[in-house]
């Protein structure tokens, strides 16, 4: 029997974008390097190694997001306990829209994501590094 998928990923992303703050690429580049801003890269480690990353970004694979945000989790990361602004990105912006929505639902504030993701960041001339940092 064939599956009857009634809600697709585009529907989830569109719904998330109605609930979250989106930051245009140029504005995100202007926020880069500020002490009170944490840029969170939710891409897979292989994407960071292959495509590069934003210098100073914190790598949090999407599959670990909820575990790393939750202070009651044995996997909690202190970076998410700070009084900072969290700016999420993925490659294009679908995963980061969903991640931003979930982080916001969990109570992380303020949190937003970069429109167009890392691809838009690179295209706009934002600083990047190549390599293995994770």
CA dist 88 to 57, 68, 74, 93, Å?
Answer: 9, 14, 22, 9
Task: Write out the chain's pLDDT in tens, 134 residues.
Answer: 899 999 999 999 999 999 999 999 999 999 999 999 999 999 999 999 999 999 999 999 999 999 999 999 999 999 999 999 999 999 999 999 999 999 999 999 999 999 999 999 999 999 999 976 55
Give every strand in the sheet of 85-89, ordered side by side. Answer: 21-23, 111-114, 85-89, 37-41, 58-59
Whether the CB-CB separation of 41 and 58 falls below 8 Å is answered with yes
Q: What is the CATH code for 19-123?
A: 3.40.250.10
What confidence score (pLDDT) does residue 1 get? Answer: 82
What confidence score (pLDDT) does residue 131 get? Answer: 73
Cα pseudo-dihedral 97, 119, 90, 134, rounded to 10: -160
3-state secondary structure 53-76: ECCCCEECCHHHHHHHHCCCCCCC
The pTM assigned to this predicted structure is 0.94
67 phi-psi bin (left φ>0, alpha ψ -120 to 50, beta other): alpha
Residue 27 phi, psi dihedral angles, 5° rounding: -70, -40
What confidence score (pLDDT) does residue 112 get? Answer: 98
């Amino acid at each position: 029997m064939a599956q009857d998928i009634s809600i697709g990923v585009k529907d989830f992303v569109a719904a998330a974008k109605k609930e979250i703050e989106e930051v245009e690429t140029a504005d995100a580049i202007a926020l880069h390097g500020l002490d009170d801003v944490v840029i969170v890269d939710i891409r897979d480690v292989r994407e960071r190694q292959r495509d590069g990353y934003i210098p100073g970004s914190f790598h949090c694979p999407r599959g670990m997001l909820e575990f790393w945000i939750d202070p009651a989790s044995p996997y909690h990361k202190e970076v998410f306990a700070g009084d900072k602004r969290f700016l999420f990105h993925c490659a294009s912006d679908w995963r980061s829209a969903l991640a931003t929505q979930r982080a916001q639902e969990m109570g992380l504030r303020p949190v937003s994501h970069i429109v167009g993701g890392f691809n838009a960041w690179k295209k706009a001339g934002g600083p990047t590094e190549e390599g293995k940092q994770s």
